[in-house]
A and B are shown apart, each in its own frame.
Chain A
Amino acid sequence: MNHLRGIYTIWYRDILRFWHDRMRLLSSITFPLLFLFVFGTGLSTRMGAIGSGFDFTQFIYPGIIGMTVLMSSFMSGVSVVWDREFGFLKEVLVAPISRASVAAGKALGAATIALLQGVIMLILAPLIGIHLSLGTILALLPLMFLLAASLGSMGVLLATRIRSMEAFQATMQMLMFPMVFLSGAFFPIEGLPAWMNVLVKINPATYGVAPIRQVVLGATADSTYNISLLGHTLTIWNEVAIMAAFGAVMIVLAIWSFRYQE
């Protein structure tokens, strides 16, 4: 009860802040839009169909949804650093709510905002010739949320250990771009060179992006969208399970780390 109230309050504040700062929403989807329309359109004309008859723009569309959600949730960790710098964290730390609920509330807030941005990306589907049924959208929401919550927790974990804004942003970029590029968001992940294959498979984001693509483009047995791990072709449930396990580890570490920061 006490924990729920704490989580809710922390979450509520982050949503409120986001609402005050609605312009951020616009700027945060500029980057994915550029990717989708400039990069996608530019390369589509050079490339043939990928997988079962989708052009390049259509192929990267779910990847870019994944990228949007991942980047937004991961970067939200900066609010913890921000709060520390501006002193507000102190108000939170002397309040009668547990450190665990603060960390969880932060991760949830990050996830909610990222989910919202993912949903905005979904609205673009008709523009690039992809039909999303209501069922598809309902299936995408939990998938996006899972990715967002996991990466949001990772962001909070990082923020509890890194005190300066500059260091946080540098570390963030160092981790975020490899995660995005090696997640299969922009290219099929079959038949890659061995070194890259290993990096893609150990990248947790891979298991967040793949299910989104399988749901958006239709989950066929087409191996282009599927991940094979150690000789097995993973089902969408396997991928979800891996992502959930990663998310669970991250939130536990984030809570633990938050509790033991001075």
Chain B
Amino acid sequence: MSEYVIRVEELVKKYGDLVAVDHISFTVRPGEVFGFLGPNGAGKTTTINILCTLTRPTAGRASIADLDVVRQQSQVRRLIGLVFQDPSLDERLNGLQNMRFHGMVYGVPGPVREERIEQLLRMMELWDKRHIQVRNYSGGMKRRLELARGLLHHPRVLFLDEPTLGLDPQTRNRMWEYILELRRQEGTTIFLTTHYMDEAEKADRIGVIDYGKIIAMDTPEKLKRMVGRDIISLKADDADRAVEEIRLRYKIEARRDGDGLNFEVPNGEEFLPVFLKEFNAKILGVSMRHPSLDDVFLKLTGREIREQEVSDTFKELVRQHGRHMRRR
């Protein structure tokens, strides 16, 4: 077992003239939550499909736990779990049958399978609904079932492609509690793509991909620091005196904003305790805001991540359809 559980080297995928993935390289350590961010059509799903053996790369190499995703497909498949962007349940079967099918296909022995199925379905609050046909499940229930299913064979790497798209915040939180708990217990590596920035925050490291290339890769903290500085908002008894003191003490020009004032510092977390201890003017209230991953995304790709959620999903659909036509 090497140091990395996912290793991608100079990976390329072309569809005709379209370069979906353009010489990307990265590694993921065991137990890491790796977030893969990018506009739709940037190459996220293509990369996931290559890693989980569904698509053959045009060039380059990728491996899961030192197993090549092209030459050792079936060994790779045994180690990975997937929750797809699009539903992949058998709607004509009930929840329990979907789980059993998965357990059987992955060769989980009977008694262990049944035990885990109950445990997982209870955790996802689907146990009472296990005899209901999946087509009668709500969108949130389907997603939870898919997640439960993806975890049934205790994968070493769990791929989550937009796992919580369209879920209500409560369900999203519960799913994440479980995913992180699983990582703690089993050391599962999690490979995630998402549009939700609060979700991306849960990643240990984030890779930003655009036009098939990786344009940034770091911890969320460092990515945000790279983009901008922390914003400190202050309410003081005497705002003018406070501005004056900030100018003298830190050589920073604070901006008046209503009855408060704002100023930026490189590292707010370290700055704030010192500031509070040594600042003389009377402080009524203070708050600090990190630049968000939205800001990071905007700066790196020149696009807002959210506004294109719908329109680009549509464009992507059209494009994939076009691909199908061409391939035929």
Spell out A's residues near B (CB within 8 Å): 2, 5-6, 8-9, 12-13, 16-17, 20-21, 83, 86-98, 163, 262
Contact = CB atoms under 8 A, between A and B. Distances in A.
A21 to B, nearest CB: 7
19 contacts: A5-B104, A5-B105, A6-B105, A9-B101, A12-B104, A13-B101, A86-B90, A87-B87, A87-B88, A87-B89, A88-B88, A88-B89, A88-B90, A90-B84, A92-B105, A94-B53, A94-B54, A95-B77, A98-B74
A163 to B, nearest CB: 7
A96 B107 contact: yes
Interface string B31-67: 0000000000000000000001111000000000000
B115 interface: no
Given A20-B93, A87-B89, A96-B77, 9 more contacts: A12-B101, A20-B92, A86-B90, A87-B88, A88-B90, A91-B88, A91-B102, A94-B53, A96-B78
A17 B105 contact: no
Nearest to B97: A16
B324 A163 contact: yes
Contacts of B88: 87-91
A97 to B, nearest CB: 6
Given A94-B80, A96-B77, A21 B92 contact: yes
Interface of B: 52-55, 74-75, 77-78, 80, 82, 84, 86-93, 97, 101-102, 104-107, 133, 149, 324, 327-328
Given A6-B105, A90-B54, A96 B91 contact: no
Contacts of B80: 94
Nearest to B92: A17
A13 B84 contact: no
Contacts of B54: 90, 93-94
Contacts of A2: 107
Contacts of A87: 84, 86-89
Contacts of A8: 104
Contact of A97 (B55, B86, B105): B105
Contacts of B92: 17, 20-21
Contacts of B93: 13, 16-17, 20
B182 to A, nearest CB: 19
Contacts of B75: 96
Contacts of B86: 87, 90
Where chain A touches its partner, the secondary structure class is helix
B105 A95 contact: yes
Contact of A20 (B78, B84, B133, B327): B133
Given A88-B89, A94-B53, A262 B104 contact: no
B52 A94 contact: yes
Contacts of A163: 324, 328
A20 B87 CA distance: 21
Contacts of B87: 86-87
Nearest to A83: B90
A17 B86 CA distance: 21
A87 B83 CA distance: 12
A33 B224 CA distance: 71
Contacts of A9: 101, 104-105
Contacts of A16: 93, 97
B55 A262 contact: yes
A65 B84 CA distance: 43
A5 B101 CA distance: 11
Nearest to B327: A262
Nearest to B103: A9
A189 to B, nearest CB: 38
Nearest to A21: B92
A76 to B, nearest CB: 14
B163 to A, nearest CB: 15
- Leading 9 A-B pairs by shortest Cβ distance: A87-B88, A96-B77, A96-B78, A95-B105, A91-B88, A9-B104, A90-B88, A88-B90, A87-B86
B106 A96 contact: yes
A15 to B, nearest CB: 11
Contacts of A89: 88
A16 B100 CA distance: 12
A86 B228 CA distance: 44
B271 to A, nearest CB: 48
Give the residue among A5, A17, A87, A96 with the most B Cβ atoms within 10 A. Answer: A96
A2 B104 CA distance: 11
A19 to B, nearest CB: 10
Contacts of A88: 88-90
A166 B256 CA distance: 66
